[in-house]
Amino acid sequence: MKKKKNNASLRPFSGPLLDGPHRAAARSMLYPVGFTEEDFKKPLIGIASTWSNVTPCNIHIDKLALEAEKGANANGGKAIVFNTITVSDGISNGNEAMKYSLVSREVIADSIETVVGCAGMDGFVAVGGCDKNMPGAMICIARMNRAAVFVYGGTILPGCLTAATAPANSPNIGKDLDIVSVFEAVGQHAAGKISDEELHAVESCAIPGPGSCGGMYTANTMASAIEALGMSLPNSSAQNAISPAKMDDCRRAGAAVVEMLRQGIRPRDILTKKAFENAITVVIALGGSTNAVLHLLAIASAAEVKLTIDDFTRIGKRVPVLADLKPSGKYSMSALVAIGGIRPLMKILLDKKLLHGDALTCTGETLAETLRNVKPYPTGQQIIRAFDNPIKKDSHLVIFYGNLAPGGAVGKITGKEGSRFEGKAIVFEGEEKALKAILDGTVKAGHVIIIRSEGPKGGPGMREMLAPTSAIMGKGLGKDVELLTDGRFSGGSHGFVVGHVTPESYVGGPIALVKNGDKIIFDSEKRTLTLDVSKTELAKRKKACKKPAPRYPRGVLAKFAAHVTSASEGAVTDKDLEL
């Protein structure tokens, strides 16, 4: 692209805020924070940091933000670092606190927009490292459409239980551990497979330091999706959190935003329908989280790109799952980093004509141009399968419809647990009751666990069901029970699990009408969820069904519940607002 020569064009927002005699008061506020006379001639670049001590995913991001600041300043910009919130799914999962998780995505998007807008920033870098601050930052980037680059904070290294720290004969000795290992150890403990001593040993060493959860869970899934969208620099998604490569990534991102201003590139030039199709393709090939469906729909909504859950079905019919990554697979993200990350996989997908090579990226090059010199994976590696030997021949992200989910539902079906399940419903109003029943043995083989009142409005907040799904796996019931919910799942969930059931129970969706003992048929080949109850009986139940009172009458959860759309629309809060 041809570079713009007029320096004023590099300051479309900071210029009107800071230039001229009448803006002297605004300038006076910036001298104390380090501005010089010369800085007022430079484009103003925000560095949105999600640093906090709340979670290991983000404890190092303050240092990464400073590197991004250096990169922007070195390339002719003037950077300002500011913070936004983050929360921890790993800590809050399985508790009422988890209701704030998805809500935080919207708060993060709004808070970044507020600072960038009020400060007159011409562009910004967003540095995120956890499940919701990443899509939250991307929603803001798409919404504001100012020059921007996203930087992933990087993956954590795996923990390990050694013979010196573990009880004798521990089944976990020598295995790579992460947060999901701890959740599954809770199920093993409840089943009597491990002792109190071993559970404590696992929880003490599973998280060895900074970085996002180490499998192809939601953070690594969304990092990969954002790179495939073209909104982060090449390799940003596949770097260890503590590494020289990640520091360099941040410096280059700061410089890249200034370059985007020079070239006149804005996010919506990049965030096209082709870009979202590329992201879906990469997520499927990697075996990524169901949360990618929710978050990509939300980002597309902010970018005003028409994307639906049916696009995941259309693309999924021709894209195989190739990555043998946790949770259902063997390897950690750091192992994928060691063999080259996702770039060689993207080159394979491009060569198979499964990616749009002409899609623009934040580098100013097309996707194909950024992949032209990528080297293949080393011979003999076992993490990324060949096309003639896939983990699954089509997508693991299955969109279901049927009389139980007329608005759609999302399953994560690897095929390892089978493709069809028929069982009797055991119904729970909320996650905690279901978890207790799984751990105490009330839930048995042949049950279809229904966890409702967990949707975006009804929860509110659409909690992840990581605690119950991990307990199911830990108790050895992964192939013997199914779990359906109007809530959602962690990227660490696996087994017979279907979430995002729409309409949710709070608004009177069919999931609200299910009773204990009802026969439910799940078929991933036909992509159907069937409640085997007559229309007459369902109509009778519908008539008797009453909408529950809101659980939170005030505060951020109440605001979220009042404005949020359905899961099938991305659970966004700013669509078609009445003014």
243 is catalytic: no
Catalytic residue, chosen from 490, 493, 505, 568, is 490
DSSP string, 142-185: HHH-SEEEEEE--BPPPEEB-TTTS-TT-TTBT-EE-HHHHHHH
DSSP string, 200-233: HHHHHHS--SSSB-SSSSHHHHHHHHHHHHT-S-
| Beta-ladder partners of 496 | 482
Nearest to 216 by CA among 416, 414, 371: 414
Q: Per residue in 5-42, is it b (16+ CB within 10 Å) or e — as a string?
A: eeeeebbebbbebbeeeeeeebbeebeeeebeeebbbb
Contacts of 238 (CB under 8 A, 6+ apart): 155, 223, 224, 333, 336, 337, 340, 341, 342, 343
424 in Cβ contact with 517 (< 8 Å): yes
57 in Cβ contact with 83 (< 8 Å): no
Kindly calculate the radius of gyration of the chain based on its CA atoms and give it in whole angstroms. 24
Distances 453 to 14, 106, 401, 459, 547 between C-alpha atoms, Å: 46, 21, 19, 6, 11
516 in Cβ contact with 427 (< 8 Å): yes
Give the count of alpha carbons within 13 A of 68, CB side only. Answer: 35
3-state secondary structure of 415: coil
CB atoms within 10 A of CB 167: 17
Distances 149 to 48, 171, 176, 390, 547 between C-alpha atoms, Å: 10, 43, 32, 33, 43
Q: Give the integer Cα–Cα distance in Å for 88 and 424.
A: 34
Q: Give the integer Cα–Cα distance in Å for 531 and 541.
A: 13
Residues 9, 13, 17: CA angle, nearest 5 degrees? 120
DSSP string, 362-392: TTSSBHHHHHTTPPPPPTT--SB--TTS-SB
246 in Cβ contact with 64 (< 8 Å): yes
Q: Give the integer Cα–Cα distance in Å for 461 and 106.
A: 11
> What letter would DSSP give residue 429?
E
Q: How far apart are the first and last CA of the chain?
A: 39
Q: What is the 3-state secondary structure (H, E, C) of 302-315?
A: HCCCCCCHHHHHHH
Contacts of 152 (CB under 8 A, 6+ apart): 128, 129, 134, 212, 219, 223, 226, 227, 232, 236, 237, 239
Tokens of 454: 């967990």
Q: Per residue in 78-90, is it b (16+ CB within 10 Å) or e — as a string?
A: bbbbbbbebbbbb
Torsion of CA 286, 290, 296, 302, to 10 degrees: -160
Q: Which residues are catalytic?
A: 490
